[in-house]
Amino acid sequence: MCGIVGYIGDQPAADIILDALKRLEYRGYDSSGIATLEGKKIHLTRAVGKLAQLDTALKNTPQAGNIGIGHTRWATHGGVTEANAHPHLAADEVAIVHNGIIENYAELKAELLAKGHEFSSQTDSEVLAHLFLDIVRQGYKGAQAMQQVLARIKGAFALAVLLRDSPDTLFVARNASPLAIGIEDGLVCVASDAMAMAHLTRNVIYLKDGDYAALSLDELQIFDRDNQLANREIIRTSASPALIDKGGYRHFMEKEIHEQPDAIAHTIAAMTDAKGVLKTGLSDADLGDIRHLVILAAGTSHYAGQVGRYWLEGLAGIPVSVETASEYRYRAPAHLAGGAVVAISQSGESLDTLMALRHAKEMGLKTIAIVNVPESSIAREADIILPTRAGPEIGVASTKAFTAQLTVLFALAVDFGRAKARLSADEAAGLQQKLLSVPSAVGAAIDCFEAIRPIAQSLKKTPSCLFLGRGRLYPLALEAALKLKELSYIHAEGFAAGEMKHGPIALIEEDLPVICLLDGDDLSAKTISNLKEAEARGATIILIATASSAKLVDFDSFRVVIEDCDPLLAPLILAIPAQILAYQTAVEKGTDVDQPRNLAKSVTVE
């Protein structure tokens, strides 16, 4: 996703902005640029590719000025070219960087073309620059110009703007796309993510939707959507530069796989009350009043929700539907009274999930957020926050956040089970004990890190493969397929094992890899017979299985075997070899493990 940075201070802006952009690299991008304002002169440098290209260009043509804006672009409108890279200029009077999508850019562009404006890119963002120019030329200045622009545009956006005639002021605005303001002696900065400026300041203001601001070293003016001056709270962010470090691992993803025992343990600890009882933080009143749950999420978080449904229905008897956020927000869902939504999001900024949460809120449902970033938009808009304590997850492919989400969902099921009198206090305590055994079981599962390499080597040339699972392991098969496809670019598809004979078995051909998750539960025998049908037709079988379930398979197969565990918690533990298989395959294929092509860590566009 695009990353925005802005700076005004007592130091030259370009290098500070470049360094901040580097701390946003994990968001995924394909080009970048920086504009600075020196007196009445706007300097601009842009480059396609990684930030190293921009760095080289800046070294070749240094640009002065203590105020500037920078951008890493994840292409939405227009190809990956220097002309489409941000910042966009209009007549050397306006420079702008933008994250999001301006939905009515085409009509605005037509209007501006008719007025004689000329464009050099295919982007919606350049239209914004010319709209600013047009409004400034009508005599509007500074924040009033921003107000006029915001009155004309529709869509999700975070903006930072330089105006030639306001050389000491940074103008910013946000609607649905995140933007944080950082404040320290001698500087004011802005960034899409507080992490990008944590080395400059931890004092952060998060703008609300519709806010815009004029920021100078002497004054911060923040206006709300009604154009009234607004007071926004300054918070001390938990983001810190030390957290963005590989710690000796080759990739952030490798580090984050290894951090999972701690991430799960910290998440459990944060949900354990003074008496040592596992409590998610929902009040007894809420637990009693809520009669059904709607889980809203995307991608990996959606698969976590699908696993959570098995626990919530099985342990608490609470009806659960799991919705794809991007679909839910445009449906007219029918809900019984007493419903609550659970929005699951690592970043807390996925626009699909944020908008689905708002849709549910408009329908009167209570909103619960399971997020890894407590200051995120989804967290700020939900009624109740259930934080995962995985720490910042930098690798685009989610790992520790996923198992931390599962941890919260399991605890939520126990909480509801106790509140709905489906679980006695002893039964709940027993389940808590099982959960407490997970960090060490996950640590043991990580030991397969090297043993998986030969299987990854066998996979790297395959054009496609299937993942199978049943029951709680069916959503894990979907997640394992997503991991492999997003990291290694191999087409991978997950199926409910029982579904194979209803069509997908037609895909089976000689040497097609079929990867099957087994945990020794009472469905394993059925899964193995589904697997046998694939093996009989020439598939190459790969097991990701607990020791006892692997013994039930009497035909040839590659095997990743982990210690036996309670099948109830198997998704938390079998997730580890599935993640490692995807990671090792990507390493074998030489793909960009932490920033796979076309992907972003936080998808803040539709």
Q: Which residues are near ligand AGP by CB under 6 A?
A: 298-301, 345-347, 350, 353, 396-398, 486, 602-603
Minimum CB separation from ligand AGP for residue 350, in Å?
Answer: 3
Q: Which of 64, 72, 61, 62 has the alpha carbon at shortest distance from 3?
A: 72
Minimum CB separation from ligand AGP for residue 372, in Å?
Answer: 8
Minimum CB separation from ligand AGP for residue 117, in Å?
Answer: 36
Is residue 188 within 8 A of residue 182, CB to CB? The reply is: yes
Calpha distance 409→312 (Å, rounded) = 8
Instruction: Taking each helix axis as running N to C, give the angle between helix 570-589 and helix 473-488, from 0 to 180 degrees, rounded to the nearest 10.
Output: 20
Q: How far apart are the first and last CA of the chain?
A: 11
The nearer residue to ligand AGP, 350 or 432, going by C-beta atoms, is 350
279 given a catalytic annotation: no
Minimum CB separation from ligand AGP for residue 486, in Å?
Answer: 6
255 given a catalytic annotation: no
Strand stretches in 192-310, DSSP E: 203-206, 212-215, 220-223, 234-236, 292-297
Cα separations in angstroms, 342 against 160, 279, 444:
33, 16, 31
Residue in the block written with tokens 């933008």: 98
Helix (H, G, I), strand (E, B) or coil at 349: coil
The nearer residue to ligand AGP, 89 or 517, going by C-beta atoms, is 517
Helix (H, G, I), strand (E, B) or coil at 240: coil
Minimum CB separation from ligand AGP for residue 287, in Å?
Answer: 25
The nearer residue to ligand AGP, 162 or 477, going by C-beta atoms, is 477
Minimum CB separation from ligand AGP for residue 172, in Å?
Answer: 23
Is residue 575 within 8 A of residue 263, CB to CB? The reply is: no
The nearer residue to ligand AGP, 129 or 357, going by C-beta atoms, is 357
The nearer residue to ligand AGP, 33 or 392, going by C-beta atoms, is 392
Residue in the block written with tokens 């994990």: 26
- Collect all residues with Cβ–Cβ distance below 8 Å to 26 and sequence separation of at least 6: 244, 252, 394, 395, 396, 594, 595, 601
What is the DSSP code string of 8-42? EESS-HHHHHHHHHHTTGGG--SEEEEEEEETTEE
Q: How many helices (H) and strands (E) does the chain have?
A: 20, 24
The nearer residue to ligand AGP, 346 or 585, going by C-beta atoms, is 346
The nearer residue to ligand AGP, 123 or 301, going by C-beta atoms, is 301
- CB-nearest residue to ligand AGP: 299
Q: Which of 334, 320, 344, 323 has the alpha carbon at shortest distance from 364?
A: 334
Is residue 193 within 8 A of residue 17, CB to CB? The reply is: no
Calpha distance 54→159 (Å, rounded) = 21
Strand partners of residue 100: 157
The nearer residue to ligand AGP, 486 or 519, going by C-beta atoms, is 486
Minimum CB separation from ligand AGP for residue 125, in Å?
Answer: 22
Which secondary-structure segment (H or E) carries 574? helix 570-589
Minimum CB separation from ligand AGP for residue 354, in Å?
Answer: 9
Around Cβ 105, how many Cβ atoms within 10 Å?
20
Strand partners of residue 516: 468, 543
Phi, psi at residue 173, to the nearest 5°?
-160, 155
Q: Which of 2, 465, 516, 565 is catalytic?
A: 2
Minimum CB separation from ligand AGP for residue 515, in Å?
Answer: 17
The nearer residue to ligand AGP, 299 or 475, going by C-beta atoms, is 299
Which secondary-structure segment (H or E) carries 489? none
Q: What is the CA radius of gyration of the chain?
A: 25
Q: Which of 279, 366, 400, 601 is catalytic?
A: 601
Catalytic residue list: 2, 601
